[in-house]
């Protein structure tokens, strides 16, 4: 169970980023604030 | 996701990076950006869009909907130490409020820097509270509910 105040789960996956494909990990951005946004799907309306 | 993209520069200025995740493939992300999002956001989506085709990442964050096979709309604010500070999860038809995300980010940053607490509706420039023995039972002297609203 995810809880605020605890370490956010590490993840990694293939990403599309500005024209390229690359591997992205949450920990790639250690030392920075991060906003992780899940959304239901590409081509959805809101 | 385009609403987050147009605020990306402001988020970057605040020292925050955005990572978007859905169960679509990275190929699908590319096409969506090229044919649609780049027409709503100058230069296209500036942040990485991660493919979570198995829902593995969504399951870790409690946003994977088994029935639909998709990740519902979840937003997680993570500090520089990797600690989860805030989360918001919505069912798909209602979009997020990016202004509220920015407000929370600024509040968490203020708390991290000063050790003060930010009361309801706090925005930069509004009064904060300094928790301690002298404040017990005396919040009413420092803060009124009307402070939560307006500028």
| Inside any domain, residue B149 | no
| Nearest-angstrom CA–CA distance, B88 and B92 | 12
Where are the strands (E) in chain A, listed by range? 12-17, 20-25, 33-38
- B97-111 residue pLDDT tens: 999 999 999 999 999
Which site among B45, B55, B60, B76 would you substitute to test the A interface, given the most A Cβ atoms closer than 10 Å to its Cβ?
B76
Count of other CB atoms within 10 angstroms of residue B82: 17
Q: Which two tokens stand for residue A46?
A: 């809101």
- B17-33 residue pLDDT tens: 999 999 999 999 999 99
Looking at the 3D structure of chain B, how many domains does it have? 1
Q: Do B16 and A17 touch (CB under 8 A)?
A: no
Range of the domain at B82: 2-92
| Chain B residues touching residue A3 (CB < 8 angstroms) | 84
Measured in whole angstroms, the distance separating CA B88 from the mean position of its chain's CA atoms is 8
Local confidence band at A1 (pLDDT 50, 70, 90 cut-offs): confident
- B27-57 residue pLDDT tens: 999 999 999 999 999 999 999 999 999 999 9
DSSP B40-80: TSTTS--S-EEE-TTSHHHHHTT-EETTTTEE-EEEEEE-T
ipTM for the predicted complex comes to 0.96
pLDDT of residue A41: 95
- Mean pLDDT estimate for chain B: 93
| Nearest-angstrom CA–CA distance, B1 and B60 | 21
Count of other CB atoms within 10 angstroms of residue A34: 23
pLDDT of residue B150: 77
Element (H, E) at B57: helix B56-60
- Mean pLDDT estimate for chain A: 95
The residue with greater pLDDT, B136 or B21, is B21
| Inside any domain, residue B104 | no
What CATH number has the domain bearing residue B86? 3.40.30.10
| Nearest-angstrom CA–CA distance, B116 and B120 | 13
- Return the residue of A nearest to B46 by Cα: A18
pLDDT of residue A36: 98
Count of other CB atoms within 10 angstroms of residue B131: 12
Find out whether B46 and B8 touch, Cβ atoms under 8 Å: yes
pLDDT of residue B145: 87
Return the closest-CA partner of residue A36 out of B50, B99, B43, B29: B50
pLDDT of residue B141: 87
| Inside any domain, residue B62 | yes
Please state, for a pLDDT cut of 90, what percent of chain B lies above it: 73
| Inside any domain, residue B141 | no
| Inside any domain, residue B46 | yes
The residue with greater pLDDT, B118 or B146, is B118
Find out whether B75 and A36 touch, Cβ atoms under 8 Å: yes
Q: Do B78 and A4 touch (CB under 8 A)?
A: no
């Amino acid at each position: 169970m995810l809880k605020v105040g605890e370490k956010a789960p590490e993840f990694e996956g293939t990403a599309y980023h500005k024209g390229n494909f690359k591997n992205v990990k949450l920990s790639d951005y250690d030392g920075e604030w991060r906003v992780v946004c899940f959304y239901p799907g590409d081509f959805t309306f809101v | 996701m385009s609403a987050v993209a147009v605020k990306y520069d402001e988020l970057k200025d605040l020292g925050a990076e955005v990572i978007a995740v859905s169960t679509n493939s990275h190929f699908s992300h590319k096409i969506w950006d090229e044919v649609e999002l780049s027409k709503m956001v100058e230069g296209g989506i500036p942040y990485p869009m991660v493919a979570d085709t198995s829902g593995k990442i969504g399951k870790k964050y409690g946003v994977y909907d088994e029935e639909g096979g998709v990740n519902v709309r979840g937003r997680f604010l993570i500090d520089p130490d990797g600690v989860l500070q805030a989360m918001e999860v919505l069912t798909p038809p209602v979009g997020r409020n990016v202004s509220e995300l920015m407000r929370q980010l600024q509040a968490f940053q203020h708390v991290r820097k000063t050790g003060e607490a930010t009361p309801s509706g706090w925005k930069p420039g509004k009064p904060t509270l300094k928790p301690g023995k002298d404040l017990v039972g005396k919040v009413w002297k420092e803060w009124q509910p009307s402070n939560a609203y307006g500028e």
